[in-house]
Amino acid sequence: MSAAFPKEPVKASNFLRNIIERDLQTPNTQIRTRFPPEPNGYLHIGHAKSICLNFGLAAEYGGHCHLRFDDTNPEKEEQEYVDAIVEMVHWLGFDWGAHLYYASDYFDVMYRAAEALIERGLAYVDEQSAEQIRATRGDFATPGTASPFRDRAPAENLARFREMRDARHPDGAMVLRARIDMASPNINLRDPTLYRIRRAHHHNTGDRWCIYPMYTYAHPIEDAIERITHSFCTLEFEDQRPFYDWLLEKLAQAGLFEHPLPRQYEFGRLNLTHVMTSKRKLKALVEQSLVSGWDDPRMPTLAGLRRRGYTPQSIRKMADDSGASKTNIWLDHHVLDFALREHLDGDVVRAMAVLEPLPLVLDNWAEVFGGQAHREPCRAPVHPQRPELGTRGCELGPRVWIEREDFAEVPPEGLFRLFPGNKVRLKYGVVVECTGCEKNARGEVAAVHARVVPDTKSGTAGADAVKVKGTITWVAAHDAVAAEVRLFEHLFSAEQPD
């Protein structure tokens, strides 16, 4: 009897998947998620995690994922960012079909929802200053103090709110607040602000509005309008969930939305060592010209990672392997590098290159091969693990370039590379024995000398007659091509630069 092994690769633990599977037990459930970036900067590696979760889970369970620009804040948002975000989500390999939305397209619904709350005594216009509101909110130990405007009649609140909308009051003169509970142990429920006056030009709605909804008010409404089933967000919104539920429940009671309402679930943020994942901080680097732009190859933006050579597959793999959990995680940069290597390793054809070249002179070349002009053809596999891709040819000559670090005059213990008296194999070529080196006026090694050990060519009968412990890469001086290679270090030397 043969044992059955699961064919599916083991998936990283992901509690969001369990939640979806539970909810799919209810008949006629269609999974609908969204990725809701604020267009105030370029996407970074942390967003990739959210993109892979939202688009990935929706696809896995036959649902849809919306791309929604959360553009409720007029001051920091720009078309350049919208375009860059669209490009990068596509580059990662995801598609939203017809489901591209802008939160600002819902400003009318948000406004009507605010009036509905006011009419039900669930919101009021507060004319206290921002400092007063902050000062009377209380803290963990002390309950908040009610505003003198808290018990104003709905009709009066409605009139005031319309005046706010009609630009009859200066910026900051008053705000609309929810009327929930000034003594709630959750400070987010102590009459949070819903709308503020801000005379600012909006990239989508222009100058049509001078009042703008707060993010925490807008987001649940956006989800409800789009009939999102699972609203996945990062842990910092956990304390906002009671308000999310309160708001949608009240608006459902007012007849604006129908059950089932969207539900919010929080997962841990992904952080990468040696970089920062905050658009605000990355923007500061760009604005202060500390990097060459949002796509500087050292930046943890998706645009920067793409320029540096990371593939979408490697980023998706890293995101998927990191699963979803209830804690923020720090991933070492090597995890991303490893994911890239794993992806490229299977497909990419091989070639030899030397980054810090040092000449190696094979002094007995003419003697072994019958003339200095002889070129010895060598064959190497196109891919070491995929013989079906065939072989490639290259030529060995009397002078080759080797990597400077592959030679040492006095070898450190355990070095299997070139040092006087030692033999190594030139990869896919012959075995050579080091005889010494030349130095320049500064005392640095300028060239290494060696002898070809006859009858040791790779692939011939005698190749294994001489055993060597080291094999080094090389390129022949007569057919090497110069190349520019850019080596990037970490953006920050500190592991957690935040």
User: Where on the chain is the footprint of Mg ion (CB under 5 A)?
Assistant: 38
**150-155 contacts: CB < 8 A, separation 24 or more?**
150/124, 150/126, 150/179, 150/182, 150/191, 151/124, 152/124, 152/125, 154/118, 154/119, 154/120, 154/121
Nearer to Mg ion, 38 or 342 (CB): 38
Q: Show the tokens assigned to 97.
A: 């079909």
**Of the candidate residues 50, 73, 301, 456, the single one contacting ligand ATP (CB under 6 A):** 50
322 binds ligand ATP (CB under 6 A): no
What is the edge-to-edge ordering of all strands in the sheet holding 423-426?
470-472, 423-426, 431-439, 445-452, 357-362, 399-403, 474-476
300 binds ligand ATP (CB under 6 A): no
Check if 413 is active-site: no
Q: Show the tokens assigned to 302.
A: 């998706």
Q: How far is the CB of 37 from ligand ATP (least distance, A)?
A: 4
CB 205 within 8 A of CB 23: no
Rounded to 5°, angle at Cα 259 from 257 and 262: 85
277 binds ligand ATP (CB under 6 A): yes
d(CA 375, CA 359): 17
Stretch that binds ligand ATP, among 33-41, 200-208, 290-298, 483-491 (CB under 6 A): 33-41
List the catalytic residue out of 279, 298, 317, 423. Answer: 279
Query: By beta-carbon distance, which residue lies closest to ligand ATP?
Result: 46
Q: Show the tokens assigned to 136.
A: 């009377």
279 binds ligand ATP (CB under 6 A): yes
Q: How far is the CB of 73 from Mg ion (least distance, A)?
A: 9
Check if 279 is active-site: yes
d(CA 53, CA 353): 38
Q: What is the largest CA-CA distance in the chain?
A: 106
Nearer to ligand ATP, 90 or 379 (CB): 90
Q: What is the DSSP letter of 479?
A: T
**Of the candidate residues 20, 33, 37, 456, the single one contacting ligand ATP (CB under 6 A):** 37
Q: Show the tokens assigned to 183.
A: 């003594």
Q: How far is the CB of 336 from ligand ATP (least distance, A)?
A: 13
Q: How far is the CB of 14 from ligand ATP (least distance, A)?
A: 13
305 binds ligand ATP (CB under 6 A): no
269 binds, among ligand ATP, Mg ion, none (CB under 5 to 8 A by kind): ligand ATP
220 binds ligand ATP (CB under 6 A): no
Q: Show the tokens assigned to 369.
A: 């091969």
343 binds ligand ATP (CB under 6 A): no
Chain Cα centroid distance, residue 4: 37
d(CA 333, CA 493): 12
Q: How far is the CB of 317 from ligand ATP (least distance, A)?
A: 16
**Of the candidate residues 16, 17, 36, 304, the single one contacting ligand ATP (CB under 6 A):** 36
Q: Show the tokens assigned to 250.
A: 């009240």
234 binds ligand ATP (CB under 6 A): yes
Which residues are known to be catalytic?
A: 38, 269, 279
Residues making contact with ligand ATP (CB under 6 A) = 36-38, 46-47, 49-50, 233-234, 269-270, 277-280
